[in-house]
Chains A and B, each alone.
Chain A
Amino acid sequence: MLKDAPKQIVYGAAIESAIDSIQKLLAGNYAVSKKAIAILLLQGDTEIADKVKAREGDHFERITEIISQAQSGYGQELSYVMAMSRQQHARDILAKTVVSQPKIGKGFAERLSRITMHPVTGIPILIAVLYVGLYWFVGVFGAGTLVGLLEENLFQDWLNPLLLDAFEWLIPVDWLRNLFVGEFGIFTMGLTYAFAIILPIVGTFFIVFSIIEDSGYLPRLAMLLDRIFKKIGLSGRAVIPMVLGLGCDTMATIVTRTQETKRERIITTLLLALAIPCSAQLGVILGILSTNGMALLIWIITMLFVLLLIGYLASKVIPGKKTNFYMEIPPLRLPRLSNVLAKTYARLQWYLKEVVPFFVLASFVLWLGDLTGVFDYVIKGLEPIVRGIGLPNETSEVFLIGFFRRDFGAAGLYTMVEDGLIAGVPLVVAAVTLTLFVPCIAQFLVMIKERGKKVALAITAFVFPFAFFVGFLLNTILNALGIKL
């Protein structure tokens, strides 16, 4: 059997001769073929143009001339014309190699896929997913049942008293012993928070998230929410970083790279820093508010309101062009347990590696601050603000540790609720303020890395007072309406 030799793509005659002439003018050394460079130049690749300009000197002007000459022969942009030629070539090859007999009738997966994206059916499905996945599994089971077991039964009743005894015997000096088992002790605060509160919540969240992402639901959610997101200057493309932000805002800030324009990346980074709680925060808040439906509802409405309002305002203020949204929709697939577990494990490992040293360090800093009296000073400074939004004084400690990490602060709030120090309206106000409150240090560092110092600082400078302002407003409104929770 005789086989055809592979055929090259044939562009129009004018383009082909332009490719030839440019190729001949290229004298510099490039990592890919000169033909490829010529083709990219003709398609208006600015990155390549800069490189060629730097290397070819005088010839570059001549190259630009050749390009505009070639362009003048076509009604459309050369990049479009050339893409068409390539597609034609691809079609020719496909015709010789692919036989397609589409199966008749739409399967169950296809129908399910469609209803997840349709506004009328999609929104109830989204609510159901959030209810079962987040509220029930992460909030009630993770933050309620599991944290109860670990924190109260294992750590409070058994492990910490044991450690307390051991350290009393080991270190007879009060102030030094406090470093390990005191109010802000490495064991009694840092590691207890990390393993008894954060771990079960983040763990259950990562399981839910892995199942959702492997099923292919996220791109469909992106399509569903595209229209709403357009109103806040974003496209459906922002859905994935935002949903990922519910897991960890730091991770999500890195993922904003998938967005097309700088404008979108800035808006998403801002919203992630402000209005998207991370899984530990979310779990703790769902856990402590789950016993009070009204309180939870107020928290949800406030967060959604802030998210949409700030997104809307940001899209008005931040200049830049709007983008069109298109995303590949992969088929719905049944998640594989092994992949879900492997991924959850990998994410937990990553999370703990980041969180544990930080919690230990934070315990140390807080212990030092407590010992030297600096801590009291800062707390005293925060107290008027905290009281101003109707919260008990102890909450300032929570804000201070929340400054180190969001999840750390949320865990602090959890223990306050347990001790009966906060409930009702103040609890909702504290939950809202703490959710909006500054991004954690890791997220702040990633913001600097991804968006630059100026943007990162501007966002933080906005978020900090804004969180307290919303808290103040919410407290005033709830009190004026005489709402009791």
Chain B
Amino acid sequence: MKINILPKILNRGKSAGSCHTEDELSDNTGIAKVAIVGTPNVGKSVIFNRLTGRHATISNYPGTTVTMSRGKIKIADIEMEIVDTPGMYSLLPITEEERVARSILLEEKPNLVMHVVDGKNLGRMLPFTMQLIEAELNTLLVLNMMDETEAAGIEIDINELESQLGIPVVSTVATRSHGIDNLKIKIEEAFK
């Protein structure tokens, strides 16, 4: 059953036209690609580490990740490459690191884009989610730092958010590994 899923996933994003452009050449590895994007300091690298079991450097200031880290994992028989990116605030880059981060979206055709946001600042980060949806990227919204969000007295209706945006939403506390299993389930579902 699952074997049939893969070719479908891998064709996603490749548009109907058959003429070869530089963009198509970068994506011939035959492995699903998941990009982690989001504003600096929301926990992208923690999530990357939790998913891959690796140790990308994490700290409490924006801009720790200035290059891409890549790791491979398997979720429900789907082999995928996870890419951790430097922070970016929107689809329109300002700094060099943002340009680096955007290149994965514009050139590598990820099969899934995980937009990680800080639950406390959902309002400020949501416009970027909307840009990703607008770009017709297969997007998954991860509300991270939910412990701090709750402590700040903010409650988020995940189901309603899912239906308003039309994309799956997961809540996590990545530093404590809360919600990571659920995240894996959503990643798996996003490939179906």
Contact = CB atoms under 8 A, between A and B. Distances in A.
Contact of A214 (B13, B60, B106, B122): B60
Interface string A326-368: 0110110101100100110011000000000000000000000
A96 B160 contact: yes
Contacts of A96: 157, 160, 164
B136 A213 contact: no
A375 B36 CA distance: 52
A216 B61 contact: yes
B120 to A, nearest CB: 8
Contacts of B164: 4, 6-7, 93, 96-97
Nearest to B60: A216
A242 B35 CA distance: 30
A260 interface: yes
Nearest to A55: B21
B24 interface: yes
B154 A100 contact: yes
Nearest to B169: A97
Contact of A240 (B61, B148, B151): B61
B134 interface: yes
Nearest to A100: B154
A210 B59 contact: yes
Contacts of A83: 90, 127
A6 B127 contact: no
Given A7-B164, A36-B135, A336 B95 contact: no
A476 interface: no
Interface of B: 13, 15, 17, 19, 21, 23-24, 39-41, 55, 57-64, 66-67, 86, 90-97, 99-100, 105-109, 122-123, 126-127, 130-131, 134-137, 148, 151-157, 160-161, 163-167, 175
A336 B177 CA distance: 14
Contact of B61 (A28, A100, A218): A218
B53 to A, nearest CB: 13
A94 B161 CA distance: 8
B62 A90 contact: no
5 contacts: A93-B164, A240-B63, A257-B86, A333-B60, A346-B55
Interface of A: 3-9, 28-33, 35-36, 39-40, 43, 45, 47-48, 55, 79, 83, 86-87, 89-91, 93-94, 96-103, 210, 213-216, 218-219, 240, 254-255, 257-260, 265, 327-328, 330-331, 333, 335-336, 339, 342-343, 346-347
A328 B105 contact: no
B33 to A, nearest CB: 12
A213 B134 contact: no
Q: Binding site of B, secondary structure by majority: helix, strand, loop or mixed?
A: loop
B108 A31 contact: yes
Nearest to B23: A31
Contacts of B108: 31
A6 B60 contact: no
A112 to B, nearest CB: 14
A148 to B, nearest CB: 31
B57 A330 contact: no
A31 B106 contact: yes
Contact of A98 (B134, B135, B154): B154
A97 B160 contact: yes
Given A6-B165, A31-B23, A32-B105, A255 B66 contact: yes
B157 A330 contact: no
Contact of B155 (A6, A98, A213): A98
A342 B163 CA distance: 40
A218 B40 CA distance: 14
